[in-house]
């Protein structure tokens, strides 16, 4: 998807004025791209109409060129289409908050019950109880029990009971007794929507009266996912959607149309098979990911505003002279941080934005904060002469920054490696690089 849109928009970038013809041409490309991404055709039609209206109606803002203007509008509309803001879970006034998971077979319901339990443990120190409501495959109960063991979370199941609604009722009584704050109900799925399944889910809904009915949808199924979502929603009135397997989805079509077709928000996305692979869904981030090019142009602008060219010159000078010290080091960190959260910046860089490895790479803001704390605990003399940092000074710095001594040592070592590398690079001695760890 993104490749095609990038191409369409490239034709617009750099021209003085957006003509109607330009926009028509770009719209054609964007429409094809969205259809190719398996977005519902009605959704595409509406989307294009809005883009045309917005792009033609609006004056090109002074600070933007025509290409940037169109990118901005496409980005805004994509975000809007997916619901603007991240939507939280519905909370019950009194515990437990009940979450019922529904969806077709193999979409990731059972896995997502585990992921969500883990997410709640982590973010709210929650004590959830899981109910095994898929009784048709014995393996399904075992699968949930395994997840429960991993998370140290109780799993309620009943052997031999054929009435799922009864199991759920008993499970809720158990949760009441144990004062669990969340109950997550796993349910059975089918290969496609059928009447017996819907009737069973309706019965479970009736006894559980869940605060959240979350439809789990496999993002890789594209357009079909939208139809399924509609089917489930009509019968069960789901409260939200979890889009799984986005790690495998290069097209993003499902994310685009589900909200538009059902009116129901996407709350979370599954990004892999591990229990930690669940992300809160942010429409704006998804939009820039779909756009792919990220927002290279605004990154350039940001960089120009925030980064004083003379500063850069000075740093380069220092690197050459090998007098780069901890003051410069912290300056550099601050320069980078002014531009925004690092992982966001990386997504703005072409080539990186589309790199599948980036998804697994998160920049640790905490790590940067720790590094700063360590440097700020050094005396001026120490910052200027990192070589005087003997063990007793290091212990003092560790105490002052609240970081362990090993971390202080590691940071100083990294700093020295970095300094050495910089001086080699700026001296044009590239051969030295290969001696460094990780090169």
| Residue 133 partner contact from ligand GDP, Mg ion, none using kind-dependent CB cut-offs of 5 to 8 Å | none
Evaluated on CA atoms 15, 19, 24, 30, the torsion sign reads positive
Q: Judged by CB under 6 A, does residue 110 bind ligand GDP? A: yes
Q: Judged by CB under 6 A, does residue 248 bind ligand GDP? A: yes
Residue 392 near residue 421 (C-beta atoms within 8 A): no
| Residue 6 partner contact from ligand GDP, Mg ion, none using kind-dependent CB cut-offs of 5 to 8 Å | none
Residue closest to Mg ion, measured at CB = 110
Q: Which residues contact 65 (CB under 8 A, 6 or more apart)?
A: 13, 14, 15, 16
Stretch of residues binding ligand GDP (CB under 6 A), selected from 103-111, 227-235, 316-324, 325-333: 103-111
Residue closest to ligand GDP, measured at CB = 270
Binders of ligand GDP among 170-209, rule CB under 6 A?
189
Q: Judged by CB under 6 A, does residue 105 bind ligand GDP? A: yes
Alpha carbon separation from 284 to 280, 294, 308 (Å, rounded): 12, 11, 29
Q: Locate the DSSP E strands across 58-195.
A: 97-102, 128-133, 155-156, 182-187
Q: Judged by CB under 5 A, does residue 110 bind Mg ion? A: yes
How big is the CA angle at 373 (ends 368 and 379), to the nearest 5 degrees? 130
C-beta of 66 vs 171, nearer to ligand GDP: 171
Q: Which residues contact 221 (CB under 8 A, 6 or more apart)?
A: 228, 254
Calpha distance 72→69 (Å, rounded): 5
Residues 276-295: x where in contact with ligand GDP by CB under 6 A, - otherwise, as a string: -x------------------
C-beta of 189 vs 222, nearer to ligand GDP: 189
Residue 294 near residue 353 (C-beta atoms within 8 A): yes
Residue 133: alpha-carbon gap to chain centroid: 29
Q: Is 399 annotated as a binding residue?
A: no
| Residue 341 partner contact from Mg ion, ligand GDP, none using kind-dependent CB cut-offs of 5 to 8 Å | none
| Residue 244 partner contact from Mg ion, ligand GDP, none using kind-dependent CB cut-offs of 5 to 8 Å | ligand GDP
Nearest Cα neighbor of 415 from 303, 350, 333 is 333
Stretch of residues binding ligand GDP (CB under 6 A), selected from 66-74, 109-117, 197-205, 420-428: 109-117
Tell me the β-bridge partners of 242.
Answer: 216, 268
Nearest Cα neighbor of 259 from 290, 238, 235 is 238
Which alpha helices (H) appear in 179-308, and where do they start and end? Answer: 195-208, 223-236, 253-262, 283-291, 296-306
Q: Which residues contact 80 (CB under 8 A, 6 or more apart)?
A: 283
Residues 139-178: x where in contact with Mg ion by CB under 5 A, - otherwise, as a string: -x--------------------------------------
Q: Is 114 annotated as a binding residue?
A: no
Calpha distance 140→188 (Å, rounded): 9
Q: Judged by CB under 6 A, does residue 103 bind ligand GDP? A: yes
CB of 103 to ligand GDP, least distance (A): 6
Q: Judged by CB under 5 A, does residue 112 bind Mg ion? A: no
Stretch of residues binding ligand GDP (CB under 6 A), selected from 33-41, 67-75, 98-106, 229-237: 98-106
Q: Residues in the site for ligand GDP, rule: CB under 6 A?
A: 103, 105-111, 189, 244-245, 247-248, 270-273, 277
Binding site for Mg ion (CB under 5 A): 109-110, 140
Binding-site residue positions = 103-110, 186-190, 244-247
């Amino acid at each position: 998807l993104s490749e095609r849109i990038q191409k369409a928009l490239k034709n617009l970038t750099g021209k003085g004025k957006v003509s109607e013809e330009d926009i028509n041409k770009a719209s054609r490309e964007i429409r094809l791209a969205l259809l190719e991404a398996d977005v519902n055709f009605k959704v595409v039609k509406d989307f294009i109409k809005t883009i045309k209206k917005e792009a033609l109606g609006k004056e090109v803002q002074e600070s933007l060129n025509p290409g940037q203007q169109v990118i901005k509008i496409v980005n805004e509309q994509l975000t809007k289409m997916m619901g603007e803001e991240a939507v939280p879970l519905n909370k019950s006034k009194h515990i437990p908050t009940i979450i019922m998971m529904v969806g077709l077979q193999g979409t990731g319901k059972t896995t997502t019950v585990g992921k969500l339990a883990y997410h709640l443990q982590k973010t709210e120190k929650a004590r959830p109880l899981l109910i095994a409501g898929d009784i048709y495959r014995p393996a399904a109960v075992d699968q949930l029990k395994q997840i429960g063991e991993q998370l140290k979370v109780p799993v309620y199941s009943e052997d031999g009971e054929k009435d799922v609604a009864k199991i759920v009722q008993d499970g809720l009584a158990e949760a009441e007794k144990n004062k669990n704050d969340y109950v997550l109900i796993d349910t059975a799925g089918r290969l496609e929507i059928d009447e017996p399944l819907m009737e069973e889910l309706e019965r479970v809904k009736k006894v559980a009266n869940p605060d959240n009915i979350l439809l789990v949808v496999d993002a890789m199924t594209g357009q079909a996912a939208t139809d399924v979502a509609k089917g489930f929603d009509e019968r069960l009135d789901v409260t939200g959607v979890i889009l799984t397997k986005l790690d495998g989805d290069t097209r993003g079509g499902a994310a685009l149309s589900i909200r538009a077709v059902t009116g129901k928000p996407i709350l979370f996305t599954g990004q892999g098979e591990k229990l930690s692979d669940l992300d809160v869904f942010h429409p704006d981030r998804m939009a820039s990911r779909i756009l792919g090019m990220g927002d290279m142009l605004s990154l350039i602008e940001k960089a120009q505003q925030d980064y004083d060219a003379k500063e850069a010159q000075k740093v380069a000078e220092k690197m050459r002279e090998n007098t780069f010290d901890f003051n410069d080091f912290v300056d550099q960190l601050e320069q980078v941080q002014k531009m925004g959260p690092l992982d966001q910046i990386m997504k703005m860089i072409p080539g990186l934005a589309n790199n599948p490895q980036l998804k697994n790479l998160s920049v640790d803001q905490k790590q940067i904060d720790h590094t700063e704390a360590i440097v700020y605990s050094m005396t001026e003399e120490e910052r200027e002469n990192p070589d005087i940092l003997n063990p007793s000074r290091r212990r003092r710095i560790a105490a002052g920054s609240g970081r362990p001594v090993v971390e202080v040592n590691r940071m100083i070592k990294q700093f020295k490696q970095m300094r050495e590398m910089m001086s080699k690079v700026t001296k044009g001695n590239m051969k030295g690089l290969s001696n460094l760890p990780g090169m």
